[in-house]
Structure 1
């Protein structure tokens, strides 16, 4: 069975994610696009390679095109503007990720109703290995949704590309659509914080602990809950939510997991200030808070172990090699957070800064 055919099967573990998120008090007015867990098919017709050609430019143009999709028995076609997005993957991948910019009025009554901008997360290069990495990252988003009440929604889409600027050159990959950050904030009826940095005392300690322990579990140090790269809103690979008009109880929401040891992408690099040599090495990069916050986060994750294992064990997306690798990494993470000595040495005594109470 080809990877694309595997990708078009329904993800049974994702049904559990849907149940959990609905119980978490998420706005019931879910968009049609993310109301289903079943992968679907789309066609992007645009000067795609011309858009790719601008990937190393800081100022990039939007290119006009069309997006067609299957919605049940009907085929829907709407206009779309595309441009490359992101940072490392944008500059270095053969198939850089794209931003899809729709017109809200035009997508009314379609599967995309309510959508404005969507991130299309694609394999970095062609080939089965890079396709498997996309499946892994997609499943890591599902894993985070299992643990955290606050998360981005995703949906798999098998995209046929038609490049109008190159004699209608065609290719196909399975990708996933990532919910827009503004839409995510609106779904939780919270405000998306657009600030250059935040302070530890402003953060919701319970949610921050969940994010930090999760990042440790997947072997990811490419994030920050406090700072952002120069010229960008806080924070690095983390979005911040809060009640409107407040600057306390800020909730971090993690995203972009391709630099984690769990995914283990060949292009992933480590930050210069992190004293480990391999991307697969777990290194706790969280800020110190009361032990109970970390212990509560760990207890939460342990309580979901069966569902977490099933997410990867039962996924029709992963081939035998990548399923075994994912399950091995996940089991090792659970072994570590289930061992009091490891928790003490690798998390409680390894956190940064003084303990912040709250």
Structure 2
């Protein structure tokens, strides 16, 4: 089992397949993707070595992220490879959802259990303004297809200062009938967008108080769950989650490690730098990778340093998929 010096165990791997994305979200890639080409990202064989190493060290959940992971032509093959890795019990992915209506059923058949989709507004004009793509209709159709395919669906929306009561009420009305988990995420500062963070960051604390006052009740976390505090209400088909990285003791429940599309291990979303292990993955030696992971985990800090304005190596969230 992967365990750090603070007694935290790591059952969960977030694996980025690409940094590329064809959306231009204000809080991530407002000017579009301008990063490395696809030939610089991990190959399927390197990914297989990585998955076997993590699984043999107790990892039971893998999330495939990007950028936008479905931009890889071999995405379906990698999804099946992940699902068929011995020891991996749960496979999730994060996507902008624009291709989901067409592919949700195939993803389910390949072994996917859960999908997370970003929807920052249910108003088409506001959605287009935030994402740079007028595709809300396609994304909502994708959600319907995912639910029909019996995938567990979570929807992510970033809290911004212009997040109004009307926008919240529209989401709550939608959750009355929509059986998904809607997760409100505090905006996190990144190296490329410090001014945007200063202008738009909003704490999730007041929203949490509002939910509790209105009868929302906390759910018990699974061991491989992410950092969200999740709530349910008997009158709603959907659930609500809050991800508040600036809250007290946020890092105590950390159970995940990240590997970037270039093969670097990130002990935290906001690590000072990734730790390169590409050579080990290229050589395909699972035992060497396992030894490397155990050794590196001893260097993991107790907490991130976001409160100090230190964003580490994370220039934008597409680098590691959040």
Q: Is TM > 0.5 for Structure 1 vs Structure 2?
A: no
Q: Who wins on radius of gyration, i.e. which is larger?
A: 1
TM-score by length of 1: 0.23
